[in-house]
Amino acid sequence: MATDTAIAKKKKVRFRRARAFWGRVTEGLELQQLWGQFMSEAKASYGLYSKDVDWEQIGTERSRFKRFRRSIWAMFMAMLMKLSPSRRVLLLLALILLVVNVDFGAAGGGGFSIRTSVFGVAILFILLALELADRVTMKRDLEIAREIQQWLVPERPPVVPGMDIAFATRPQNTVAGDYYDAFFRPRGSRDAASPPLLIAVADVAGKSVPAALLMATFQASLKALTATPATLDEIVIGLDRYCRAHSLDGRRFTTAFLAEIDPVTREMVYVNAGHNDPILRRASGTIERLSTGGPPFGLPLFTESEIPYPSGQAQLQAGDSLFISTDGVTEAVDDGDAEYGEARLISCIQSDATKTASETLGRVMADVNAFVGYARQHDDITCFVLRVNA
């Protein structure tokens, strides 16, 4: 009886250890969530490798079997060429050892014996360890870059009497090409009773490290220009001139929405440089789109003159809400490649008429997350909400 009790206790201990190990490996995710995550990552990986495949040439094959065989070979070569030359050789050697699978042992079948497939598995494990080491090193460097990038954007919104501000960003990778900011700048040429509030939301074309580096230079340029008594129009022209000088012939352009708000009169002057039209929800429920401006910053000039950027004006009233986002919100896709879209976004904003800026922001982010599900994020997501209180 005592022996049975001891065995039962050992089984419980093993079960608890196994469950703890499984929880550590899965980070508490359910099987459905794990499968959804795997499918999302597999889809993204397929998209990465398939870019190096000449599908048009493969499609010229009349035989379905030959097309399938060439497709498999092309995908294998695309993956192989992503490795360094030494690792390519190791991978080919591992595959040969797995396929041949010769038994090396003592003559006559006695004594120790081992198959070449064991060496093949060992080589694959070594390759996996090397690739993981590279990824961990790169991830650590990106985390440092992420910390530096976080210094460039405000940790918390400024305190503005009569206004409520909230913002959030979620990069597609560790670092992002999105930028947002809100700060008081020196009084410009316009007569103002208090320093104007400048808000900015920008999106550099591209993703990850290249876009993040350009975002940092954009932030530095904006800070330098706004530290002077320049008007918003002059700031916009200066930003466009700088972006054109660093846009790689227009391949790295930047969309942006810049606005200057008088905290006392609540008059807003803005310029939309090719950005998604911000949504101004009036207290009455009317939706206005802020589209006045010009093309994205950094596009090449076709004439010698500067690109004109006309500014728009809007008088903010109590109960109004201004919602600014990057295209990662409306272009977020689910597992079926359907986009979230502006209609859903506007509906979500309209339903939060009496909410605070933080509550509206949280609702939009949660709605986007629910729509996307387990699909992999394809672009950086940034939202900025400003609500005018009574």
CATH of the domain at 230: 3.60.40.10
- Whether 52 is covered by a domain: the verdict is yes
10-24, 126-140, 181-195: lowest mean pLDDT where?
Answer: 181-195
pLDDT above 70: residue 110: no
pLDDT bucket at 290, cuts 50 / 70 / 90: very high
- Whether 297 is covered by a domain: the verdict is yes
pLDDT above 80: residue 41: no
Residue identified by tokens 């995550």 is: 37
pLDDT above 60: residue 208: yes
**How many independent structural domains does the chain possess?**
2
Instruction: Check whether residue 56 and residue 199 sit in a common domain.
Output: no
For residue 138, give its domain range: 2-104+112-146
State the Rg of the chain over Cα. 28
- Whether 255 is covered by a domain: the verdict is yes
Instruction: Check whether residue 51 and residue 188 sit in a common domain.
Output: no
Instruction: Check whether residue 119 and residue 172 sit in a common domain.
Output: no
Instruction: Check whether residue 44 and residue 163 sit in a common domain.
Output: no
For residue 189, the model assigns a pLDDT of 46
Instruction: Check whether residue 85 and residue 176 sit in a common domain.
Output: no
Q: Which tokens is 375 given?
A: 């699909």
- What is the rounded average pLDDT for all residues in the chain? 84
For residue 106, the model assigns a pLDDT of 54
d(CA 277, CA 312): 12
Residue 67, Cβ density class (10 Å: 0-12 exposed, 13-18 middle, ≥19 buried): middle
Considering the chain, what percentage of its residues have pLDDT values greater than 70? 91
d(CA 345, CA 323): 10
Residue 385, Cβ density class (10 Å: 0-12 exposed, 13-18 middle, ≥19 buried): buried
Q: Residue 206's closest CA among 196, 224, 218?
A: 218
Average pLDDT for 124-147 = 83
Q: Which residues pair with 289 in a beta bridge?
A: 279
CB 180 within 8 A of CB 390: no
Q: Which tokens is 336 given?
A: 């079926």
- Whether 263 is covered by a domain: the verdict is yes
Instruction: Check whether residue 141 and residue 186 sit in a common domain.
Output: no
Instruction: Check whether residue 61 and residue 203 sit in a common domain.
Output: no
Higher pLDDT, 353 or 322: 322
Which domain-ending residue is among 146, 172, 204? 146
Say if strands 267-273 and 293-294 run parallel, antiparallel, or are unpaired. Answer: parallel
CB 294 within 8 A of CB 304: no
Instruction: Check whether residue 95 and residue 187 sit in a common domain.
Output: no
- Summarize pLDDT for 15-30 with one digit per residue, the tens: 888 888 888 888 777 7
Highest-confidence range of 142-156, 215-229, 265-279, 367-381, by mean pLDDT? 265-279
Instruction: Check whether residue 181 and residue 51 sit in a common domain.
Output: no
- Whether 64 is covered by a domain: the verdict is yes
Which domain-ending residue is among 120, 146, 172? 146
For residue 250, the model assigns a pLDDT of 59
For residue 291, the model assigns a pLDDT of 92
Q: Which long-range contacts (CB under 8 A, 24 or more apart) does 43-49 make?
A: 43/376, 44/376, 49/75, 49/78, 49/79, 49/82
pLDDT above 70: residue 188: no
Instruction: Check whether residue 164 and residue 140 sit in a common domain.
Output: no
Instruction: Check whether residue 318 and residue 198 sit in a common domain.
Output: yes
- Whether 298 is covered by a domain: the verdict is yes
pLDDT above 60: residue 190: no
pLDDT above 70: residue 353: no
Q: Which tokens is 354 given?
A: 């009496």
Instruction: Check whether residue 162 and residue 133 sit in a common domain.
Output: no
Residue 59, Cβ density class (10 Å: 0-12 exposed, 13-18 middle, ≥19 buried): exposed
- Whether 185 is covered by a domain: the verdict is yes
pLDDT bucket at 306, cuts 50 / 70 / 90: low
Residue type for position 286 = T
Which residue intervals of 178-289 are DSSP H helices?
208-226, 232-245
- Whether 151 is covered by a domain: the verdict is no
Q: Residue 196's closest CA among 252, 111, 267?
A: 267
Highest-confidence range of 114-123, 191-200, 348-357, by mean pLDDT? 114-123
Cα 108 to the center of its chain, rounded Å: 62
Which residue intervals of the chain are DSSP H helices?
2-26, 31-50, 55-58, 64-80, 85-100, 116-152, 208-226, 232-245, 327-330, 341-350, 357-372
Q: Which residues pair with 273 in a beta bridge?
A: 256, 294
For residue 164, the model assigns a pLDDT of 92
pLDDT above 70: residue 301: no
Say if strands 293-294 and 113-115 run parallel, antiparallel, or are unpaired. Answer: unpaired
- Summarize pLDDT for 142-186 with one digit per residue, the tens: 777 777 777 778 888 899 888 999 998 888 777 778 889 999 987
Backbone angles phi, psi at 161, to 5 degrees: -55, 130
Average pLDDT for 193-211 = 83
pLDDT bucket at 134, cuts 50 / 70 / 90: confident
